[in-house]
């Protein structure tokens, strides 16, 4: 078997972007592996037969960016709907808009404060712990937005996210809690946002629609019983690796810690269950953090959706073990120094580039992963393909 010019481990957005660039810029022959049975990594989605909903298999994915380079790049492969992300939260039997804005504040305090009045009130309430250096997340939350709003909207939600009481969590987890002193409830502040018109997977397929890119699914890079494995390839062909960096080195210095999310699917015999795509649950009586009603991400597809059925995924957050899908890096000081150790080992790997959220142990949004893949291609991968490095 002849080796290709480049092997990419992982068909997520980092791998897809590198494959697309390698073919376009250098005419390389690329083999891309993924242990899963589909491309797209965590941004993969599929259409649900019963409801017509596009289900984001690894959790809700909203595309947004302020980078013109990234926006132009992604628009080569898909158009975007005019979806604008907004979130609601249920607290104490009432539904409030998020992020906390003047609508939330006035509904919560049964008031009609002006922006200045609301700001004065929150400043006063946030002064409760004035002069004290917050020792945990609970005190930090109170000192940022005051006890009433913190306890209503942040405290129990955070406890569910971390499965830990906020008084036991480090203050460093949050640096700010945004409160908007106007009625703007748009979740993202970016210049562009939207959802891919015919779904995420159609977008990703178009990125690699080229005979020089071969995708091998269900292939684990660490499985030595198949030919596309680490020992057979590293040192013989340039490799871009987007799996977990600690796994690459066989966890020799320990494991990097992640949080994961479990999803519980519910089906309802009604057209619309929540009236919005994302409903958070701020209180501890509901065990999940939020529920996603996928049909409502795509109201422009109503004609193709089932008017009498809907599907909802409830999200439960917890610490990940090695067998779980790693979602959010925990990033304690010890994680950071462990990552540095692995990163130094990675630099010594011959002709291997580590990328993406797992390969660099960073939380990246999709637009950030695309931006880092474009930069990494230009800076490191293209020279490597040209044999200049």
Q: Are 181 and 153 in contact (CB under 8 A)?
A: no
Considering only residues 185 to 224 of the shown chain, the ones binding ligand FAD according to CB under 6 A are 220-222
Active site residue 363: yes
For residues 228 and 216, give the distance between their C-alpha atoms in angstroms, rounded to a whole number. 9
Instruction: Report, in Å, the least distance between residue 366 CB and Na ion.
Output: 8
Q: Does 356 bind ligand FAD (CB under 6 A)?
A: yes
Q: Are 248 and 241 in contact (CB under 8 A)?
A: yes
Active site residue 210: no
Considering only residues 223 to 262 of the shown chain, the ones binding ligand FAD according to CB under 6 A are 242-243, 261
Active site residue 94: no
Report helix, strand or coil for 71: helix
Longest dimension (CA), the chain: 73
Q: Does 36 bind ligand FAD (CB under 6 A)?
A: yes
Active site residue 110: no
CA gyration radius, the chain: 23
Of the listed 86, 259, 301, 318, which one is catalytic? 259
Nearest alpha-carbon partner for 382 in 179, 260, 209, 240: 240
- Cβ closest to Na ion, residue 166 vs residue 359: 359
Nearest alpha-carbon partner for 370 in 36, 67, 10, 81: 67
Partner interacting with residue 95 (select from ligand FAD, Na ion, none; CB below 5-8 Å by kind): none
Instruction: Report, in Å, the least distance between residue 322 CB and ligand FAD.
Output: 12
For the chain, percent helix, then strand, then coil, each to nearest 5?
35, 20, 45
Active site residue 147: no
For residues 293 and 274, give the distance between their C-alpha atoms in angstroms, rounded to a whole number. 7
Contact pattern from residue 282 through residue 321 relative to ligand FAD, giving x for each residue in contact according to CB under 6 A and a dash for the rest: ----------------------------------------
Please, which residues have CB within 8 angstroms of residue 296's CB and are 6 or more apart in sequence? Answer: 272, 274, 275, 276, 277
Partner interacting with residue 220 (select from Na ion, ligand FAD, none; CB below 5-8 Å by kind): ligand FAD
Residue 86 zone, left/alpha/beta (φ > 0; ψ -120 to 50; rest): beta
Alpha-carbon separation of residue 149 from 109, 123, 125, 184, 388 (angstroms): 10, 12, 9, 18, 57
- Cβ closest to ligand FAD, residue 34 vs residue 48: 34
Q: Does 91 bind ligand FAD (CB under 6 A)?
A: no
Residues in contact with Na ion by CB under 5 A are 42
Q: Does 137 bind ligand FAD (CB under 6 A)?
A: no
Partner interacting with residue 349 (select from ligand FAD, Na ion, none; CB below 5-8 Å by kind): none
Active site residue 315: yes
Instruction: Report, in Å, the least distance between residue 15 CB and ligand FAD.
Output: 6
Tokens of 31: 């083999």
- Cβ closest to Na ion, residue 241 vs residue 281: 241
| Residues making contact with ligand FAD (CB under 6 A) | 9-15, 33-36, 41-43, 58-63, 220-222, 242-243, 261, 327, 356-358, 364-367, 369
Q: Give catalytic residue positions.
A: 176, 180, 259, 290, 315, 363, 365
């Amino acid at each position: 078997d002849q080796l290709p010019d480049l092997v990419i481990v992982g068909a997520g957005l980092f791998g897809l972007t590198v494959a697309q660039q390698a073919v376009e810029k250098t005419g390389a022959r690329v083999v891309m592996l993924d242990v899963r049975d589909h491309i797209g990594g965590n941004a993969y989605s599929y259409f649900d037969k019963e409801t017509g909903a596009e289900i984001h298999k690894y959790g809700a994915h909203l595309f947004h960016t302020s980078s013109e380079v990234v926006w132009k790049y992604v628009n080569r492969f898909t158009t975007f709907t005019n979806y604008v992300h907004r979130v609601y939260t249920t607290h104490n039997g009432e539904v409030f808009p998020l992020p906390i804005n003047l609508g939330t504040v006035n509904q919560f305090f049964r008031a009609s404060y002006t922006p200045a009045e609301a700001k004065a009130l929150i400043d006063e309430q946030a002064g409760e712990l004035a002069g004290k250096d917050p020792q945990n997340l609970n005190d930090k939350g109170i000192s940022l937005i005051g006890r009433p709003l913190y306890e209503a909207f942040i405290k129990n939600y955070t406890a569910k996210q971390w499965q830990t009481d906020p008084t036991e969590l480090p203050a460093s987890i949050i640096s700010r809690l945004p409160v908007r002193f106007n009625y703007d409830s748009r979740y993202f502040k970016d210049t562009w946002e939207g959802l891919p018109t015919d779904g995420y997977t159609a977008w990703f397929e178009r990125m690699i629609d080229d005979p020089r890119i071969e995708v091998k699914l269900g292939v684990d890079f660490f499985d030595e019983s198949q030919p596309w494995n680490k020992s057979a390839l590293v040192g013989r062909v340039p490799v871009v690796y987007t799996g977990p960096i600690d796994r690459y080195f066989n966890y020799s210095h320990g494991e990097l810690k992640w949080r994961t999310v479990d999803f519980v699917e519910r089906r309802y015999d009604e057209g619309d269950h929540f009236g919005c795509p994302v409903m958070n649950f701020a209180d501890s009586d509901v065990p999940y953090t939020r529920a996603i009603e996928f049909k409502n991400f795509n109201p422009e597809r109503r004609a193709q959706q089932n008017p009498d059925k809907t599907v909802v995924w409830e999200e439960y957050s917890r610490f990940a073990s090695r067998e779980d899908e790693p979602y959010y890096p925990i990033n304690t000081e010890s994680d950071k120094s462990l990552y540095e150790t692995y990163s130094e080992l990675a630099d010594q790997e011959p002709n291997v580039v580590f990328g993406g959220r797992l390969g660099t142990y960073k939380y990246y949004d999709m637009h950030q992963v695309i931006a880092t893949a474009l930069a990494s291609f230009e800076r490191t991968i293209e020279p490597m393909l040209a044999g200049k490095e």
